[in-house]
Every structure is written in structure tokens, then in C-alpha cells.
């Protein structure tokens, strides 16, 4: 499943305070509190297709520490041994540092102006055959800072998945228990350097318009740049605020709801300022086959989406995006 976004769709404005906000105290509070949050989330998903979680002051310290580590790491020259030792260019395992312009192209004729550090879940004790090794930079405190934010975002994300299930009248743990291994979840630390493209640089984007492959995605950004498409097909600037966490819906959520909720189109344009983003994707467990749920399929009608696993879907989308990049850069 992929969507044909137009390359030059204009931005309509900034969402600002109009972006639906869910109070973290409700989301992570009592059962009745979560029910109130679920009602707000349902309306947001149907009205806009995304929302924010507000008042996350408990994560501010961990978030600031990770941003400091990111500024240090991404500020190193690409030739620095710290980066070179974990360069994943051309490798099957992409858990490490991806240099500038190596990102797959989610739209034909684009090249992404970013570098990243990617990692998966922590290794579990004992035999852990589903764990993917991670190449960490040789920087004191980096791994610990990443894992502190991973744990914070995992807690928030699982609460969000439970509220989403209640919002759409599924069993409370429906989404959470299908995303709980985190074998196919990824955290991305993204660095978008300041760059104002010339009129001739039509291919150069921060990251091309696309939908995420997974169930949901949690995003924070240090400066404006992220743009979201609402349920009416209009593009808006997302807020850049440490106290707000953007939640967008992914392809697997769209499939489970048979398109009642669309995956959130999003993009980043190159801007004249530097920007960092922390992203956690909640992938569906490897042993789960995603099929539209019965309550979203009208009587007598066939489901809009065929059964598929997260891995099958992600690999197909990445192959397509890889071919787009190869067609432009030739390697």
C-alpha cells in the first residue's frame, strides 16, 4: 500500500493550538481517565488523522540529555572515526549511522537531505533470536540517553495503543499486545542540516511525503519542519514543542480499520535552519497477520485490504523506495 502524493502540494498553514491535544495525565491515568482520552483520540483520528500528547514534563530531562548527545554526535565530521565505525551504508542491518543522502526515496525523483542514527529494542536476557544487533557510537552516555527515551516513549506509546483500541471499540489490549515484542519497532534520531535549496534543486527534500509502515509513530522535533496531511488532504506545519509529542497513524492501523482511519501523510522540507527529530515507530509483532477487523467491513462487502504481516509490508515498501533512490543517484 502506498499513496501517490503530489510533489508540490502547498502548505496551508500552522496547526498550532488547533492541533488536537490529549493530556498525558488522562492517557496514563485511571480507567475512566483513559476512557475520556479515548473519546478525544477517536474524534482526532476521524477529524484530522493525528493528534498530540500534551503535558509530558516527566520526560523533559531525558529528552534534553538525548538532544545534547545528538548534537554532539551529528556535529562530528563524517570522516570522524566515531561515525565511520558504525556506518551502515550498503549493509543489510541498518542499526547504526546512516550518512547524508542515503535514505530511501519515498517519492520518485527525490533525495533526502538528512542523516540518522537508528536502533531497535534492547536485547533481552538469555537467548534472544529476534534481536537485531546495534552499532553504538563510542560516546560516553549516548546509549544510556537513547534507552531512557526509548523506555519513556514505549510507556507512552503502549498507553496510546490501549486508548486507540478503546476509541474504536476493540478489546483494550488489541493493538498493544500485537505490538508488544517491539521486534519490528525502531527508534530514529534524525538530523536535518540547515539548507535553503536553489530553484534548480527540485529533488532535494528533507524527507519525501510518505506514510509510515507501522501501526503508530511518536515524533518530537527541536524546530519546525515536519508537515502533516490532514484527513481532507491539506498540509499543515506540525508544532515544535518539547512538551508536545506528535502521534501519527501508520499503514497497519489503516489496514486494521479497513481505511476508516487513514495513515497520516507527512514530509519534511529542507529549511534554512538546523533541526533534530526523535521518532519511535511501533511495529506489529512478527507473528501477527494484519487483517481488517469485522466491525470496519460493511455487511456483504469485501475488505479493502488483503492480509499481510508487518515484515512483508515494510520490505515491499523499502524495496520500492530503494529503487526510487537508485534511479536518481545511480548507486
Q: Is the pLDDT of residue 304 over 90?
A: yes
pLDDT value, residue 58:
61
pLDDT class of 60 with cuts at 50, 70, 90: confident
Residue with cell 519490528: 184
| Superfamily for domain range 12-89+96-118+132-329 | B-lactam Antibiotic, Isopenicillin N Synthase; Chain (2.60.120.330)
Q: Provide mean pLDDT across the span 44-52.
A: 92
pLDDT value, residue 126:
77
Q: Is the pLDDT of residue 57 over 70?
A: no
Q: Is 133 helix (H, G, I), strand (E, B) or coil?
A: coil
Q: Is the pLDDT of residue 3 over 70?
A: no
d(CA 212, CA 278): 15
d(CA 237, CA 249): 17
pLDDT value, residue 16:
66
Q: Is the pLDDT of residue 13 over 70?
A: yes
Percent of the chain predicted with pLDDT > 90: 70
Q: Provide mean pLDDT across the span 23-36.
A: 92
List, for residues 118-143, the tens digit of each pLDDT value.
999 999 987 898 999 999 999 999 99
List, for residues 63-83, the tens digit of each pLDDT value.
999 999 999 999 999 999 999
pLDDT value, residue 231:
87
pLDDT value, residue 252:
98
Torsion of CA 157, 67, 210, 39, to 10 degrees: 30
pLDDT value, residue 11:
82
pLDDT value, residue 132:
94
> What are the Cα distances from residue 11, in Å, to 3, 252, 329?
18, 26, 28
Q: Is 230 helix (H, G, I), strand (E, B) or coil?
A: coil
Q: Is the pLDDT of residue 219 over 90?
A: yes
Of 324 and 192, more confident = 192
Q: Is 251 helix (H, G, I), strand (E, B) or coil?
A: helix
- Residue 169 zone, left/alpha/beta (φ > 0; ψ -120 to 50; rest): left
Q: Is the pLDDT of residue 106 over 90?
A: no
The H or E element that residue 273 is part of is none
pLDDT value, residue 64:
92
Q: Is the pLDDT of residue 230 over 70?
A: yes
pLDDT value, residue 17:
63
Percent of the chain predicted with pLDDT > 70: 93
List, for residues 261-289, the tens digit of each pLDDT value.
999 999 998 888 999 999 999 999 999 99
d(CA 228, CA 225): 10
| Average pLDDT for the chain | 91
pLDDT value, residue 239:
84
Q: Provide mean pLDDT across the span 11-24.
A: 80
Length of the chain: 331
Please list the helix, strand and coil fractions of the chain in percent, rounded to the nearest 5, in that order.
Answer: 30, 20, 45
The burial class, CB within 10 Å (0-12 / 13-18 / 19+), for 138 is: exposed
Of 275 and 12, more confident = 275
Cα dihedral 55, 186, 164, 162 sign? negative
Q: Provide mean pLDDT across the span 76-91.
A: 96
Amino acid at each position: 500500500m502506498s499513496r501517490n502524493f503530489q510533489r508540490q502540494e502547498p502548505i496551508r498553514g500552522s496547526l498550532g493550538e488547533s492541533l488536537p491535544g490529549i493530556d498525558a495525565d488522562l492517557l496514563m491515568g485511571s480507567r475512566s481517565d483513559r476512557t475520556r482520552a479515548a473519546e478525544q483520540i477517536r474524534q482526532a483520528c476521524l477529524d484530522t488523522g493525528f493528534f498530540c500528547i500534551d503535558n509530558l514534563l516527566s520526560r523533559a530531562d531525558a529528552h534534553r540529555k538525548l538532544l545534547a548527545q545528538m548534537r554532539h554526535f551529528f556535529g562530528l565530521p563524517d570522516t570522524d572515526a566515531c561515525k565511520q565505525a558504525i556506518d551502515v551504508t550498503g549493509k543489510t542491518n541498518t542499526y547504526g549511522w546512516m550518512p547524508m543522502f542515503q535514505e530511501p526515496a519515498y517519492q520518485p525523483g527525490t533525495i533526502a537531505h538528512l542523516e540518522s542514527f537508528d536502533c531497535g529494542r534492547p536485547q533481552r536476557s538469555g537467548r534472544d533470536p529476534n534481536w537485531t544487533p546495534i552499532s553504538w557510537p563510542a560516546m560516553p552516555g549516548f546509549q544510556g540517553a537513547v534507552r531512557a527515551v526509548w523506555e519513556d516513549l514505549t510507556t507512552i506509546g503502549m498507553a496510546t495503543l490501549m486508548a486507540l483500541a478503546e476509541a474504536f471499540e476493540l478489546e483494550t489490549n488489541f493493538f498493544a499486545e500485537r505490538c508488544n515484542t517491539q521486534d519490528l519497532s525502531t527508534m530514529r534520531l534524525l538530523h536535518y542540516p540547515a539548507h535553503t535549496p536553489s530553484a534548480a534543486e527540485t529533488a532535494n527534500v528533507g524527507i519525501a511525503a510518505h506514510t509510515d509502515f507501522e501501526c503508530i509513530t511518536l515524533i518530537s522535533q527541536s524546530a519546525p519542519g515536519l508537515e502533516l496531511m490532514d484527513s481532507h488532504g491539506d498540509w499543515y506545519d506540525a508544532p515544535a514543542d518539547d512538551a508536545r509529542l506528535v502521534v501519527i497513524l501508520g499503514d497497519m492501523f489503516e489496514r486494521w480499520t479497513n481505511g476508516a482511519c487513514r495513515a497520516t501523510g507527512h514530509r519534511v522540507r529542507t529549511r534554512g535552519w538546523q533541526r533534530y527529530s526523535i521518532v519511535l515507530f511501533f511495529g506489529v509483532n512478527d507473528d501477527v497477520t494484519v487483517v481488517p477487523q469485522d466491525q470496519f467491513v460493511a455487511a456483504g462487502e469485501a475488505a479493502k485490504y488483503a492480509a499481510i504481516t508487518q515484515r512483508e509490508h515494510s520490505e515491499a515498501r523499502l524495496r520500492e523506495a530503494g529503487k526510487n533512490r537508485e534511479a536518481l543517484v545511480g548507486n
